[in-house]
Amino acid sequence: MKLDGNQTAETGGTIHDLTELRDTLRAFVAARNWRMYHTPKNLAMALIVEAAELVEHFQWDTPEESLATTGDKAAAVRDEVADVLVYLVELADVLDIDLLAAARDKIAKNAIKYPAPP
């Protein structure tokens, strides 16, 4: 099956936003009967493991080297970023957190805590 950049191999469906990603992940988990394992504790631990795997790709890079990631390393970084996103979306789903609303609220809090210089 030939897929465009927005299709999943399993469903052939498109993913354009966080809601569609969440729904695709729900179906993926349900098809494997994994819901019982998707507790906040387990998802948070899986998220941090994937974040650590992402860090490994940059561990000994200079700042300049980390900005110039290409080829196989760039592909591996992309996969790890995707893993982090997937677990974050799943964790937010289990905890009934609207990620966009939470991010918007956090940006507003940070704007007060760290005002831009005049």
List, for residues 26-50, the tens digit of each pLDDT value. Answer: 999 999 999 999 999 999 999 999 9
pLDDT at 14: 86
> Which CATH code for domain 34-111?
1.10.287.1080
The residue ranges of every structural domain in the chain are 34-111
Q: N- to C-terminal Cα distance for the chain? A: 55
Alpha helices in 2-117, H assignment, sequence order: 18-31, 40-56, 63-67, 71-94, 99-113
Q: How confident is the model at residue 1 (pLDDT cuts 50, 70, 90)?
A: very low
Q: Residue 65 — φ and ψ, nearest 5°?
A: -65, -40
The CA–CA distances, whole Å, from 46 to 9, 28, 39, 41, 61 equal 23, 17, 11, 9, 25
